[in-house]
Structure 1
Amino acid sequence: MTIQQPSEALMSRSYPPEFRRKVLDLVTSGRKVAEVAQLLGISDKTIYVWRRQHRLRRAEAALSDAGPALAADECTPRDIADTTRVKATRAAALRSRGKARRPRK
């Protein structure tokens, strides 16, 4: 029995944060996700995941008063709704395991 190595296309890669930031800058500047993905040889789904992660981090930072790095006016209502939903889901999971945290004052 022979074990075949997965093709490089199927293996997940790790990209440096600077690369991710530049990809998101290209998309934010108005280029289409599919165009950027094809140009750089990455999956468009990867770019969508990075964009969603960036939006969530930005909204969490704005909600937690992270300071001048990320202002609340940079967040869209969708960012805040996504973050609120994620926090509620996490809290429910913790409660179901008996590890609920007390809310901050």
Structure 2
Amino acid sequence: MGRRDYPPEFRRKVLDLLEAGRTGTELARDLDISAQTIYTWRRQDRIDRGLQPGLTSREKAELAAAKQRITELETELQATRRAIELIREAAPPKDGSKPSR
């Protein structure tokens, strides 16, 4: 069984059922999702509500966006450095001067 994305409304309903007294095992069986997924949602919900320590959903999203931006910037930097190398190879310095670093 692969990873599936569930809409936030569905997750909220599952968490509401948990709070109403249903067990994670019951819900997993009835809804055909893993119990671990349900417990992961509950843990994240508790973190988001400040009942448990950890990164909130918002903080996780910000961190993921920052990591993606860092990757993009590193790729741009690598391309710029390669372009500089190609320019230096194509146009050697004039008058025998040493290339700058």
TM-score, with structure 2 as normaliser: 0.52
Q: Equivalent of 1:56, from 44, 47, 50?
A: 47
CA distance in 1 between counterparts of 2:31 and 2:9 reads: 14
1:34 aligned counterpart, secondary structure? helix
CA distance in 2 between counterparts of 1:26 and 1:37 reads: 11
Give the Å deviation of 1:23.
0.3
Match of 1:30 in 2: 21
Structure 1 segments, 4+ long, off by >3 Å, are none
Identity within the alignment, %:
52
Q: Which has the higher helix share?
A: 2
Alignment deviations for residues 39-65 of structure 1 (CA, whole Å, 9 cap, x no partner): 000000000000000000110xxxxxx
Q: Name structure 2 gaps, 5 residues minimum.
A: 57-101
Aligned CA RMSD, in angstroms, stands at: 1.6
Q: Name structure 1 gaps, 5 residues minimum.
A: 1-8, 60-74, 88-105
Amino acid in the other structure paired with 1:49: T
Between 1 and 2, higher relative CO (CA 8 Å, sep ≥ 6) is seen in: 1
Alignment deviations for residues 36-90 of structure 1 (CA, whole Å, 9 cap, x no partner): 110000000000000000000110xxxxxxxxxxxxxxx4xxx2xx24xx59xxx
Give the Å deviation of 1:26.
0.5
The count of residues paired between Structure 1 and Structure 2 equals 56
TM-score, with structure 1 as normaliser: 0.50
Q: Equivalent of 1:18, from 9, 30, 37?
A: 9
Q: Equivalent of 1:47, from 34, 38, 44?
A: 38
Instruction: Please show how residues 47-86 of structure 1 align to structure 2 within 5 Å.
Output: 47-59=38-50, 75=51, 79=52, 82-83=53-54
CA distance in 1 between counterparts of 2:5 and 2:24 reads: 19
